[in-house]
A and B are shown apart, each in its own frame.
Chain A
């Protein structure tokens, strides 16, 4: 009986959660004149013109490609640097470890607005302006600390005896780390990868500041279109629907790692 009540609650929540998304889908399948003309629970004449425009116009679809490129670079850098650092924080005491850990977190706490200008100056002075790598590096500012933090939590859940046994068995540190340790915290790696992807994907202020045309993110392209042509709700909704797709693919791959967790991953 208890289990049933929970499931009903969960189903209702998921249904409510989907409503705004459904509404966006509904809008994306109608023309702008149609949308503003009357209220409709579902599109009466389904049209794909909004999607066609995005897929055929390079100034639109390049935005998705740009976003995907810098987000992927950011994910790789964040995970590659955060994994060893998180291991250090979870296993060792060293000079300034606690201060260092909290300092990392403070990098998520600054209001971005005024920092945008110095960011622009910094990255233009090293000649990286309007490149994917610039956005990827800048997003490391808030993603790397988060990655370290999440991974540290998962690593601290693994008993240290596992490390000790492996070292006694003659494993070198890199071999132990890659072949034994990382598989043990698969769930953590999956969650971390998803969060890095997500925060980099949805962040706009920094990404927009650091790009002009070559690496312009999709979110920025969407705002530009609003100001140029008034609000084209249909086109905007279609673009919005498409911004969800890459993330869904990532969560689809990460879901097994998240679901399995620690207990089943242990040998």
Chain B
């Protein structure tokens, strides 16, 4: 769509700019400040330049956490995107079923993040949890507090349970926005369900799926509360993701300097990948149109 060229559009954007910049710029500058100083106490600090950045970039445990984080986000995207789209396609188009599906599917999204962790602790406990008891009765020794693989499986189950609905809701809203005429045209052409999906539905959902993909990438990469409550980063360090390690450094040891440097590196990684994904997803859509 050809856009009108008019710099007065800035006036429409101004309120958003002001309200976001207010909460964004000052805290960011403060964190930049932390990252280049050694802070002993209120009013006592020494300028150290990029020392903290060098220390953090060489930190072995940070590297481990980073790889774990990539694995986690990668799995999340691989599972949740196709599953979310499939569910959206399977949902009814009209009638009472729509309401039932929408309300049920959004349930996990509405629970505060630390409560999610608590629910899954209760749900997977081997003595009183439905999942824990059921899987032990099947003869599988399962304990997410002792075995890293079990901890990962539990986390992935929780994550898929928690966040697939976000993809589904966005995909469903995108599907509903496709005018009926497109489907009628496809029907007249004798298009199969698959080609209808590939040539009509998927390209038309590009916008919402870009949002879903990037949101899932960012939020899974920044995940904190759920694994913190469920596994506390354990057993060992097997589920210590970047945020959990960051909190260990910054808040528990109260090292604001390294914590600040860590945060900025973290931020830049998310930014970089989001930018690449954003560009790729934008250009993919243009090619198909």
| Chain A interfacial positions (CB closer than 8 Å to B) | 2, 6-7, 9-10, 13-14, 16-21, 23-24, 27, 35-36, 38-39, 41, 77, 80-82, 84-85, 87-89, 91-95, 97, 100, 102, 104-115, 117-119, 121-122, 137-138, 140-141, 144-146, 148-150, 153-154, 156-157, 159-160, 187-188, 191, 194, 198, 201-205, 217-219, 222-223, 226, 233, 236-237, 239-240, 243-244, 246-248, 251-252, 255, 258-263, 266
Contact = CB atoms under 8 A, between A and B. Distances in A.
A263 B208 contact: no
Contact of B176 (A110, A145, A203, A259): A259
Contact of A118 (B27, B102, B129, B222): B27
A243 B28 contact: no
Given A82-B16, A247-B109, 9 more contacts: A18-B104, A18-B107, A109-B222, A118-B30, A187-B173, A219-B115, A240-B118, A247-B106, A258-B172
Given A100-B13, A137-B19, A106 B271 contact: yes
Instruction: Report, nearest first, the 3 A-B pairs whose CB atoms are least far apart.
Output: A261-B176, A247-B110, A118-B30
B264 to A, nearest CB: 9
A91 B3 contact: yes
Contacts of B242: 111
A226 B115 CA distance: 11
A92 B109 contact: no
Nearest to B98: A259
Interface residues of B, number: 103
A258 B123 contact: no
B250 A154 contact: no
A141 B23 contact: yes
A140 B105 CA distance: 25
B188 interface: no
Contacts of A2: 193
A23 B106 contact: no
A88 B9 contact: yes
A251 B123 CA distance: 26
A208 to B, nearest CB: 10
A95 B9 CA distance: 9
A266 B128 CA distance: 53
B91 interface: yes
Contact of A81 (B19, B30, B118): B19
B256 A114 contact: yes
Interface in B240-270: 242-243, 246-247, 250-251, 256, 259-260, 262-263, 266-267, 270
B23 A39 contact: no
A112 B111 CA distance: 19
B5 interface: yes
A17 B24 contact: no
B176 A258 contact: yes
A222 B118 CA distance: 10
